[in-house]
Chain A
């Protein structure tokens, strides 16, 4: 009977495995396959070996896109992680009012991404409320979405608004698991606020911080909707992050081989970060 139960486990696992194999695993292998080919959907794929990969090094559009992506991810996650950490930490010190503030701070996360994109697109309008505020402060209007110097920042600003909401909740959850008596003891010993943060809070929060850093980076790399709706990668490719480049190369220029090669690069970056994340999660469980 024991033996049969072990065999039975396959019956339980198989449907989900089959599903993942068809719609996740196989496509990854297929993407690798296509990346070794020239393929425009019209004629059958032609094997070209590593040439798609070799071309990456001199592919200016790709290199530009890589830089745009790195710029977007870096300037989005650094301030967001800092601010979320502070907000989460402060929220955790509150008593009964905490759930009300948590509710309000979480609201941006429940909006559909497209709603967020549409609202911010209008707020960045030449005559929108953000320029109104600048005018009131005696400054000139800024062509947020139509000038390549400002458009990347417009997307970064709106991502601050959107992402802070989510990571604040994650940090709050982390702060709430910290042992209170540690801080009590330090406080009774007369510890000052900043040394206490540095020597007690930061080391204890390290797993959560690491988790958020990886999560935020991965989510930044996967961004698509904001860029697509607000600027469609423009003006002059100033906001063409990798996902937009992949989408356009595949479905506007029908260059499936090249687009798959870009996909593999994106996939590699995310997989690497995810492996670090798994390692962090399992490390935390052992601790």
Chain B
């Protein structure tokens, strides 16, 4: 383990170069959001802009970005709630109440994790139309709300809970629902946060489905609003960067406070 100092410095230097590359576009976006377009295209890379927050103000005047934000938060919030509620129930059923059918059903659930939304948008579109949900919150949120990968992660976690704990509850005469609520859920807390973070980020990045199902501007989620703003004629580059930065803020806040869970959810989503 006595690696030479030179080797250590070389490794850190190598990593630092790639960390700088990872960071550059993000810092550049942030800086650009405070510049004028002229400064952005002609000025030096590292000059501070003179635009102040005017790009943000103008973008918000041009389009209802707060509304987009609320729509996105709502969609992500509902997805997290549905995934956790249905997911914990199903995961418990699959992990602790096995019977001869549940193994087969579990394989079907696993298979459904693999179904990419990109391949089923057309039937989903027709189906949601038939439900009368076109261009509505229900249509945007519900079809993609349940993150099946969440069930997988929760099931793994519940399998790790010793049966003796549950048996103790059963002997005391507690119903399965009470056992789930009082014994299992408190033990699941870390996995629940991981699934919440994963589901939130997936929902935050949803683009294709809301793009297809919305036509009213005020129903748009943030990614759609950002992309539409960019396509509007004569939109200033610096204002687009202001909007890009704005869209990053909620995820950045989550990441700062829940960093550990983000990393775990990245690893957990490896199965998605």
Contacts and interface: CB of A to CB of B under 8 A. Distances in A.
A259 B126 CA distance: 13
Contacts of A184: 1
Most-contacted residue by chain B among A11, A122, A264 (CB, 10 A) = A122
A114 B227 contact: yes
Contacts of B23: 104, 107
10 contacts: A5-B176, A11-B93, A15-B86, A83-B18, A106-B263, A169-B263, A224-B208, A225-B208, A246-B121, A247-B208
A231 to B, nearest CB: 13
A24 B270 contact: no
Contact of A31 (B98, B122, B243, B263): B122
Contacts of A122: 32, 237, 240-241
A170 B266 CA distance: 7
Nearest to A273: B114
The secondary structure that dominates the A interface is: helix
A151 interface: no
Contacts of B11: 90, 93-94
A26 B159 CA distance: 30
Contacts of B1: 184, 187
Given A222-B116, A256-B122, A165 B92 contact: no
Interface string A10-35: 11110111011001111110110110
Interface in A177-231: 184, 187, 211, 215, 218, 221-222, 224-225, 228-229
A222 B118 contact: yes
A263 B122 contact: yes
Nearest to A15: B86
B178 interface: no
Interface in B243-259: 243-245, 247-248, 251-252, 254-255, 259
A118 interface: yes
Interface string B75-101: 000000010001101101110011100
A6 B87 CA distance: 18
A113 B205 contact: yes
Interface string B185-224: 0000000000000000100110110001000000000110
B221 to A, nearest CB: 10
Contacts of A47: none
Given A12-B97, A119-B241, A114 B226 contact: yes
Interface stretch (A48-56, A123-131, A141-149): A123-131
B90 A165 contact: no
A111 B118 CA distance: 21
Contact of B146 (A16, A104, A119): A16
A135 B102 CA distance: 63
Interface string B9-44: 001101110110111011011001000000001100
Contacts of B53: none
B271 interface: yes
A94 B222 CA distance: 38
B26 A111 contact: yes
A128 B40 CA distance: 8
B266 A6 contact: no
A209 to B, nearest CB: 12
A115 B29 contact: yes
Interface string B46-86: 00000000000000000000000000000000000010001
Interface residues of A, number: 95
Contacts of B230: 118, 121, 229
Contact of B22 (A108, A117, A266): A108
The secondary structure that dominates the B interface is: helix
Given A12-B97, A17-B109, A26 B247 contact: no
Given A9-B98, A211-B270, A270 B120 contact: no
A91 interface: yes
A247 B146 CA distance: 23
Nearest to A41: B126
Contacts of B26: 107-108, 111, 119
**Which 3 pairs of residues, A with B, have the shortest CB-CB distance?**
A12-B93, A9-B97, A30-B123
B98 A251 contact: no
Contacts of B28: 119, 123, 129
A125 B41 contact: yes
B183 to A, nearest CB: 15
Interface in A259-287: 259-260, 263-264, 266-267, 270-271, 274-275, 277-278, 281
A246 to B, nearest CB: 7
B174 interface: no
B151 to A, nearest CB: 6
A114 B176 CA distance: 44
A26 B120 CA distance: 10
